[in-house]
């Protein structure tokens, strides 16, 4: 499989998709057209999402075809040269993908070697489940099951900070609850500005910040770009 799983689309103060675009271009080298899944959009239209992504991808010479125009979305996935799933609300994304039968269709394509790019919610849905998303469940999907292209869970936009005066749980505390209930599962806290690339059986962390690792029975710890991540596979 060929996966590029990005924590966030946009760093603070930067234009949309600016920081990951060179990596996306490198990853999709030779690809002319990408099927885009915009279903994580909630407060703006799928067509607006398509426009935003198409404008940016045009800079690296790649056309975007949004799946929301398709009369047969699963067939569009089957015929895709590459697949891109954007961020937004993970529950809204999951519900629509399940309704259209996209998750098994995407998994078959990924196993056949079709490149996949996702950011935020688009990275979440590559995991076994969406249970480590940060999003509010504004709609109810059929289940929490996701594509399952990787065996571990991703928490995108991972934050260490606990704002002064805030008495609620930190991100780490919530992930510790997850691994208590799901002791066999690894979780990675993928900080902003970072991404995971999986290709030819090799998983690597790309970006300026370390990634936090969680597993029941193991004290959470940090890994850095260049470290061996084979234990997650």
**So which residues are the catalytic ones?**
120, 135, 157
Which residue's entry shows tokens 């993970």? 90
* Cα distance between residue 4 and residue 89, in whole Å: 19
| Burial call 18-41: b when 16+ CB within 10 Å, e when fewer | ebbbebbeebbeebeebbbbbbbb
User: Largest alpha-carbon pair distance within the chain?
Assistant: 52
Distance CA 78, CA 55 (A): 24
Angle between helices 102-111 and 90-99 in degrees, nearest 10? 90
Minimal CA–CA distance to 36: which of 85, 105, 104, 91? 85
CA separation for the pair 192, 19 (Å, rounded): 10
Token duo for residue 116: 């996949």
Q: How far apart are CA 63 and CA 102, in angstroms?
A: 21
CA distances for 161 relative to 12, 87, 169, 232, angstroms:
16, 22, 11, 25
Task: Specify the residue for token string 């962390």.
Answer: 205
């Amino acid at each position: 499989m060929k996966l590029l799983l990005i924590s966030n689309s946009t760093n603070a103060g930067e234009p949309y998709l600016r920081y990951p675009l060179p990596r996306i271009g490198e990853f999709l080298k030779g690809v002319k057209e990408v099927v885009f899944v915009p279903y994580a959009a909630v407060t703006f239209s799928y067509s607006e999402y398509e426009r935003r992504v198409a404008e940016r991808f045009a800079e690296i010479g790649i056309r975007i075809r949004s799946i929301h125009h398709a009369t047969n979305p699963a067939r569009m996935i089957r015929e895709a040269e590459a697949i891109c799933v954007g961020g937004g609300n993970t529950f809204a994304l999951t519900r629509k993908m399940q309704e259209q039968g996209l998750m098994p269709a995407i998994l078959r394509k990924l196993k056949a070697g079709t490149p996949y790019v996702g950011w935020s919610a688009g990275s979440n849905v590559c995991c076994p489940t969406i249970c480590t998303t940060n999003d509010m469940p504004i709609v109810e999907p059929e289940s929490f099951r996701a594509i399952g292209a990787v065996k571990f869970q991703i928490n995108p936009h991972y934050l260490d900070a606990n704002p002064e005066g805030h008495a609620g749980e930190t991100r780490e505390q919530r992930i510790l609850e997850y691994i208590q209930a799901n002791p066999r599962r690894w979780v990675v806290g993928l900080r902003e500005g970072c991404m995971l690339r999986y290709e030819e059986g090799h998983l690597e962390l790309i970006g300026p910040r370390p990634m936090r690792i969680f597993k029941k029975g193991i004290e959470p710890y940090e890994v850095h770009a260049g470290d061996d991540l084979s234990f997650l596979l």
